Amino acid sequence: MAGAVVQAVPGPAGIAVAGFPVDLGRVLGCAGGPVEHLGGSAAHDQQDRRIHGRGHGGDQGRFDRAGKIELEIVPQGTLAERMRAAGAGVPAFFTATGVGTKMGMAKETREFDGRSYVMERALPGDVALVEAWEADRWGNLTFRESGRNFNPVIAMAAKLTIVQSQHIRELGEIDPDHVVTPGIFVNRVLHVPYGDPSGF
């Protein structure tokens, strides 16, 4: 499966990942998981890389100490909104998150109603790797619990969306009210049944 996915990815490409368990050798962007999930493929490859992700203070030193990676730590809500903005065609927006911190440095700031805000640019991707709970052949998707955190927004933000789905349903079998991501945002669907997540 990983080989087929890599062949579908034009390189170099900006890739958004949210729970898709594939080790890609050309990952340039990551969303929705702590940056350490990129592991060796990001830390040791010789290609230039840029990573946008939520993480902890120690992540940056581990990833850019060799000068191979440009790492941007982004608040989780801001990261999701930057991708949602890309999918909605909004080039930038203002948020109070990050004002007066290192994350707000060198960014445009404005004041609205007596409060300061920083401008954040939309974060589009070339390819999104999405993990869904259910999908049909038209690409309509449902997600389970925390799977809704980042998967829907990265599906919207990318030019090419590849989905790994736990279950494949017949057309019309998914209740329209349960569809979170409509098929217009999806290009490819892979059926990967690996069992219900433990603890449910």
Band of the pLDDT at 74, cuts 50, 70, 90?
A: confident
- On whether the CB atoms of residues 168 and 189 are closer than 8 A, the answer is yes
- So what's the pLDDT on residue 6? 59
pLDDT of 119 above 80: yes
Query: CB atoms < 10 A from the CB of 93, how many?
Result: 17
Give the pLDDT confidence of 82-112 residue by residue, as tens digits. Answer: 999 999 999 999 999 999 998 888 899 999 9
Percent above pLDDT 90 for the chain: 42
The pLDDT value recorded for residue 71 is 73
What pLDDT does residue 129 have?
Answer: 87
User: Do the beta carbons of residue 153 and residue 83 sit within 8 Å?
Assistant: yes
Q: Can you read off the two tokens belonging to residue 86?
A: 């890309």
Q: How confident is the model at residue 50 (pLDDT cuts 50, 70, 90)?
A: low
What ranges do the domains of the chain cover? 1-90+121-192
Angle at 155 between CA 152 and CA 157, to 5 degrees: 110
- Comparing CA positions, the residue from 188, 79, 80, 86 lying closest to residue 129 is 188
Closest CA to 34 of 66, 6, 57: 57
Cα 164 from Cα 21, distance rounded (Å) = 9
Is the confidence at residue 132, as pLDDT, over 80? yes
Cα angle vertex 40, ends 65, 56, to 5°? 55
The mean pLDDT of the chain is 76
Residue 1: what pLDDT? 53
Tens digit of each residue's pLDDT (9 = 90 or more) over 157-180 = 999 999 999 999 999 999 999 999
Q: What is the token pair recorded at 200?
A: 């449910």
- pLDDT above 90: residue 142: yes
Burial (CB count <10 Å: 0-12, 13-18, 19+), residue 162: buried
Specify the CATH number of the domain 1-90+121-192: 3.40.1080.10
Q: Rounded to two decimals, what is the model's pTM?
A: 0.73
